[in-house]
Chains A and B, each alone.
Chain A
Amino acid sequence: DIQMTQSPSSLSASVGDRVTITCRSSQSISSFLNWYQQTPGKAPKLLISTTSTLQSGVPSRFSGSGSATTFTLIISSLQPEDFATYYCQQGYSTPFGFGQGTRLEIK
């Protein structure tokens, strides 16, 4: 099975900050990498698919990049509603594993 590892596991930042979250896979997954956002008590929400495709309605301050085994999610200017937990997920082969999550907290 492909293992997904996110870093950092948690992060404190301020409104307006630029934030980068990294996701690494244990083997190449081409560009089959998705990002999700989850706020407490809510279901996850798809933000970005296939490394860099922003979903409809997702603000342009979110962006994704990477290939093969290393991927990044960037939030260019943090807004209050962005404080949440972020998960990467590989879609290259089943089982479609998730990273352990990155909890983004207000500094």
Chain B
Amino acid sequence: QVQLVESGGGMVQPGRSLRLSCAGAGFSFSSYALHWVRQAPGKGLQWVALMSNDGSQTSYANSVRGRFTIARDNSKNTLSLEMHRLRSEDTAMYYCASGRIVPVLEYWGQGTLVTVSS
């Protein structure tokens, strides 16, 4: 059974940093591309970042490039998202997702909520 479990969310002040993690199980983790997708309260889905299965390729949404860093550790089946200089508009549920085919988000975690507020 495929599982993706996010953690690390919480409330943080604007300008501060936060690190999200996602643990994968039940699938060949190192064969899958991994993504972060977020959803602001009551809003639609926004794709945030991608890392290829071997970690050689990354891509970011314009709104987070230079502030967020995606990383993975295939030996531990984990994905992370380092978020710096957080803004109120970064407030959202953050989902990790995986796919054998890079642009197809096949499996999703249940999300971790990030709230940026003073």
Contact = CB atoms under 8 A, between A and B. Distances in A.
Given A44-B108, A98-B44, A101-B44, A49 B101 contact: yes
Interface residues of A, number: 26
A106 to B, nearest CB: 20
Given A94-B50, A95-B61, A95-B62, A46 B106 contact: yes
A83 interface: no
B47 A100 contact: no
Contacts, number: 63
Which range contains the number of B residues in contact with the other chain?
20 to 34
Interface of B: 35, 37, 44-47, 50, 59-62, 95, 101-111
23 contacts: A34-B103, A38-B45, A43-B108, A43-B109, A43-B110, A44-B45, A44-B95, A44-B105, A46-B104, A46-B105, A46-B106, A46-B108, A49-B106, A50-B101, A91-B101, A91-B103, A95-B59, A95-B61, A96-B35, A96-B50, A96-B103, A98-B44, A100-B44
